[in-house]
Structure 1
Amino acid sequence: MAFDILEAGLSTTVQDQGRIGYYRFGIPQGGSMDQYSATLANRLVGNTAAEAVLECTYIGPKLVTRADAVIAVTGAPVDVFVNGEIRAEYERITLVAGDELKFGVIKGGTKYFIAVHGGIDVPEVLGSRSTYPIGAIGGVEGRALAAGDLVPVGAAIDNGLPALQSIDVVDRPVFSRDVNVRVMLGLYDHHLSAEGLESLLTSEWVLTPVADRMGLRYSGPGVGWKDREQPFGAGQDPSNIVDAGYAVGSIQIPGGTQPIILHRDAVSGGGYAMVATVISADMDLVARCSPGTKTRFVAVTMDQALDARHDYSARAARIWS
């Protein structure tokens, strides 16, 4: 069982739940940018949540299946075509050998996901099949798919759950052009001036086209920093610090102008102050944003962040019951 890739799309990579446990060595966790959407696709085809899927960015691939297959497409809204006939997202789709799968123009967001029963069966690297292009590991030769690739599919799986034909509308993610992103302040928000902190939390920030798996850059009014003597080992930019580790979701503001949210393929440390961190429950929300999305950063407490993580996990768990 395999897919023949006729056209690769803009950037189609193999992703799963991520490469956990190696961030301290400089290897990011990676994995699907929108974990919830990827999980929905796996549930529809009868996989476990851990199977690898194809993550498509803006323009998806054109592929042909070599054998009968069950697939599902979730994530950003896009037209799905099987042999030229439109099929629905968030539904279980059966293919027969020789069927061609391709996609129309994306209608929101940036990424959608293709799951197939059995999962994408590339070799595991450090416990994950996820593609990390900068490190050239995982996926298909550590890179995005290319025309002519043969993508293998794993053996049949019994996940012990009843077959699911579609995802209820209330359980599907929303792709909005106007979002509130919850953050916890720190570790270096104390370097912002009072006006700078107020600007961060009260201003409207707009996602720029400079956005990928490593990070997403926003435009806006900027922020101010407190005057201070830079410590030995730090750069001269007011946002510079002596190098420190970065949490996934950290927000940096180089020069005090454009905030950057570090996402799943971000580096694990560096010399820019992290003034806030996006809570884990909102990382998928950030991944669903397309350039031009209006964004406000909303400060929450640790207890609120933990409650949000519980709610996120409970929503996902409903799909797997």
Structure 2
Amino acid sequence: MTKILEVITPGLLTTIQDRGRHGYQAFGMPVAGAVDEFALRVANILVGNPEGAAALEMTLLGPKLKVLAPVKVALTGADLGARINGAEFPRWETVAVNPGDEISFTAAREGCRAYLAVAGGIDVPEVMGSRATYLRGKIGGIDGRALKAGDVLSAGSLQERNLPTGTRLAEGLIPKYSSAITLRVIPGPQDDHFTEAGLETFFQSEYTVTTEADRMGYRLQGPTIEHKEGADIISDGIPLGAVQVPGHGLPIVMLADRQTTGGYPKIATVCSVDLSLIGQAKPGDTVRFATIGREEALQLLQDRETALKKWKDSLPRATGRSWNFQISIAGQRFSTYVEEIR
């Protein structure tokens, strides 16, 4: 393990996340993991890690971090006003940082959650096969909690390839975050628990993300959705992206830290490719729902995964020969990183 980052200030909510804790929902253990899994995967690809390596998830207001060792990093997801030593920190790109560098963030300018991956992955103990922080259960990450000032993060040895600095995600794959989003959903599995008027309300209305929006789920405000015969069902499993409608008639989109089962009917399920959109929504943003079929949802996912693989397979490789330089100009210190590319 190599110590790579020290937390100076933690930001609003910064946690260690990977792709989650799968295989334990039958025992009541939520999956957790990155809310925007696509952004996490891309960040890891850009630093040569397996796509599911642990990284930092930063919400709305990012941390201030001191770099302790030379390392390649990548920032994806929301625009939180990131800077390295006061200069812009480009998103969706491989970047090299050096000891003494300071990575800082301001508040969200676009989107809600940013992801910072480091070459080798963030090294914390696995719990049930995952390093993901599950805050309510106080497991994973560092003692099951958000980061705090004074924490020191170490890099593991998961790096699979050494990508040159400046490697960038294909422009066509970079998501466009908006304060007014339309989520494509597959009706059901309990859409038959709602009246025709209720279904029409759901698909024709605009909803607003409330302040009760977290890693577990997003509560939305807007027109109430009418049930046929009450809001209680026999509890069953809750998939990622399920849209529950409790007795008050307002939808809740269930996310990474959702409970494993629930007793409210699920009017629809967000298609996989649109999960990033709701995960990047902020309180006050507006949401509409549009129905699509299962086959269309599968095709959208397949198309994105094919494009991502094509980009990943096209990436160059660095030779491993690299040089770090410290340059002083007019009393200001600059860090430079040079590497040979083949």
Q: TM-score, normalised by structure 1?
A: 0.92
Which range moved further: 181-190 or 207-216? Answer: 181-190
Choose the corresponding residue for 1:220, options 222, 226, 238.
222
**Which letter does structure 1 place at the counterpart of 2:214?**
D
Q: Which residue of 2 is the match for residue 28 of structure 1?
A: 30
How far residue 75 of structure 1 moved from its aligned partner, in angstroms, is 0.6
In the other structure, the counterpart of 1:312 is 304
Which whole-Å deviations, capped at 9, do the CAs of 1:183-206 have from their partners, x for residues lacking one? 111222112111001111111112
Residue 10 of structure 1: aligned partner: 12
Task: State yes or no: 1:42 paired with 2:61.
Answer: no
For residues 83-135 of structure 1, the C-alpha deviation after alignment (integer angstroms, 9 at most, x for no partner) is 22333222222111121111122202110011111110111111111111111
Which residue matches 1:298? 290
Q: Return the alpha-carbon distance in structure 2 between the equivalents of residues 317 and 161 of structure 1.
A: 16
Correspondence for 1:146 among 136, 145, 148: 148
Structure with the largest fraction of strand: 2
Match of 2:261 in 1: 269
Q: Does the 8 A contact of 2:47 with 2:162 survive in 1?
A: no
Q: What CA RMSD, in Å, does the superposition of the two structures yield over aligned residues? A: 1.7
Q: For structure 2, list consecutive stretches of 5 or more residues without a partner in the other structure.
A: 314-342
**Amino-acid identity (%):** 38
For residues 223-234 of structure 1, what are the structure 2 equivalents within 5 Å?
223-226=225-228, 228=229
Structure 1 position 156, deviation (Å): 6.5
The Cα shift of 1:163 comes to 6.6
Q: How many residues align?
A: 311
After the TM superposition, which of the residue ranges 213-222 and 292-301 deviates more from structure 2? Answer: 292-301
Bigger drift between 20-29 and 124-133 goes to 20-29
Counterpart among 122, 125, 134 of residue 124 in structure 2: 122
Out of 167, 189, 193, the position equivalent to 2:195 is 193
| Range moving further from structure 2, 207-216 or 85-94 | 85-94
What secondary structure does 2:211 align onto?
A: strand
**Secondary structure of 1:9 counterpart:** coil
Task: Pick from 281, 296, 300 the counterpart of residue 273 of structure 2.
Answer: 281
On the 8 A contact 1:44/1:163 being kept in 2, the answer is: no
Counterparts of 2:146 and 2:182, CA distance in 1: 31
Q: What TM-score, normalized by structure 2, do the two folds share?
A: 0.86
For 1:319 and 1:37, the matched residues in 2 are separated by 15
Q: Greater shift after overlay, 195-204 or 157-166?
A: 157-166
Deviation at 1:161, TM superposition (A): 6.7
Structure 1: runs of 5+ lacking an equivalent: 229-237
Secondary structure of the residue that 2:107 maps to in structure 1?
A: coil
Q: CA 1:172–1:159 in 2, change beyond 3 Å: closer, same or farther?
A: same
Distance 1:193 1:60, change over 3 A: same
Alignment correspondent of 2:94: 92
2:197 is the counterpart of 1:205: no
Q: Aligned residue for 1:57?
A: 59
- Choose which of 75, 78, 85 in structure 2 pairs with 1:76: 78
Contact 2:53/2:158, CA 8 A, preserved across alignment: no
SS in 1 for 2:239: coil
Per-residue Cα deviation, 1:165-190 (whole angstroms, up to 9, x for no partner)? 22233221111122221111122211
The whole-number CA distance in structure 1 between the counterparts of 2:173 and 2:240 is 25
Match of 2:335 in 1: none
Contact 2:186 2:294 in 1 (8 A): yes
Q: Is the 8 A contact 2:189 2:267 kept in 1?
A: yes
3-state SS of paired residue (2:50) = coil
SS at match of 2:79: coil
The one-letter code of the counterpart of 2:282 is S
* Cα distance in structure 2, aligned partners of 1:318 and 1:292: 36
The separation in 2 between residues aligned to 1:284 and 1:311, in whole angstroms, is 16
How far did residue 252 of structure 1 move? Answer: 1.1
Cα–Cα, structure 1 residues 318 and 210, in superposed 2: closer, same or farther, change >3 Å?
A: farther
For residue 186 of structure 2, the aligned residue among 184, 187, 190 is 184
Partner of 1:159: 161
Q: Is the 8 A contact 1:48 1:159 kept in 2?
A: no
- After superposition, the Cα gap between the structure-2 partners of 1:156 and 1:66, relative to the gap in structure 1 and judged at 3 Å, is farther
User: How many angstroms apart in 1 are the aligned matches of 2:279 and 2:84?
Assistant: 27
More displaced stretch, 201-210 vs 125-134: 201-210
Q: What secondary structure does 1:281 align onto?
A: helix
Q: What is the CA deviation profile of residues 25-71 of structure 1, one whole-angstrom value per residue up to 9, with x for unaligned ones?
A: 11122211111111221122222212111000011111112211111
Matched, 1:169 2:171: yes
Where 2:99 maps in the other structure, the secondary structure is: coil
| Residue deviations 1:129-150 (CA, integer Å, cap 9, x gap) | 1111111111111111011111
Q: Distance in 1 between matches of 2:308 and 2:125?
A: 27
**Contact 2:186 2:268 survives alignment (8 Å):** yes
